Amino acid sequence: MPLDPYFAPISPWSAGLGCHCPRCGRGPLFKGFLDLAPSCTACGLDYGFADSGDGPAVFVILFGGFVVVALAFWVEAAFEPPLWVHAMLWIPAILVVTLGLLRPFKGVMVALQYRNKAAEGRLDSHTP
């Protein structure tokens, strides 16, 4: 199958949240839970450019922590349950929220890197 020389622009949000290739939107982005595939199986894009670092984890912690802590405060103020009820509610909730959002957020970061042609910083040495 020959590769198309032109790919229509794909939204980095839809490609990232769907965990698809940021160039064609069809191939899978991941080969495991958080491991990037070496390249797209549909268009052949090499994912070697992608380095999301700790960005997705930071956003997930901030977002998930805000949601779960706000709900925990509301439950405490409204119902005043014992501490074991809080533990039974919020430990699974934080695991589900953080693990559920980590992969799509990493996909969005990789797709945004592709869209913005982000690369590792380099210093140009112009010696006279």
- Count CA atoms within 13 Å of residue 121 on its CB side: 1
* Domain-embedded: residue 5: no
Tens-level pLDDT at each residue, the chain (128 residues):
344 567 888 999 999 999 999 999 999 999 999 999 999 999 999 999 898 889 999 999 999 999 999 999 999 999 999 999 999 999 999 999 999 999 999 999 999 999 998 877 777 766 65
* Domain-embedded: residue 120: no
Spatial distance between the Cα atoms of 52 and 59, rounded to a whole number of angstroms: 12
Tokens standing for residue 108: 């969005």
Residue 126's pLDDT is what? 67
* Domain-embedded: residue 90: yes
What pTM value is reported for the model? 0.84
Q: What number of other Cβ atoms are within 10 A of residue 6's Cβ?
A: 4
* Domain-embedded: residue 7: no
Residues in contact with 64: Cβ distance below 8 Å, sequence separation at least 6, in sequence order:
94, 97, 98, 101
Counted domains in the chain:
1
* Domain-embedded: residue 48: yes
* Domain-embedded: residue 125: no
* Domain-embedded: residue 77: yes
Residue 121's pLDDT is what? 74
What residue numbers bound the domain in which 38 lies?
Answer: 12-115
In the three-class reduction of DSSP (H, G, I as helix; E, B as strand; rest coil), residue 44 is classed as coil
Nearest CA-CA partner of 118 in 12, 44, 19, 38: 12
* Domain-embedded: residue 126: no
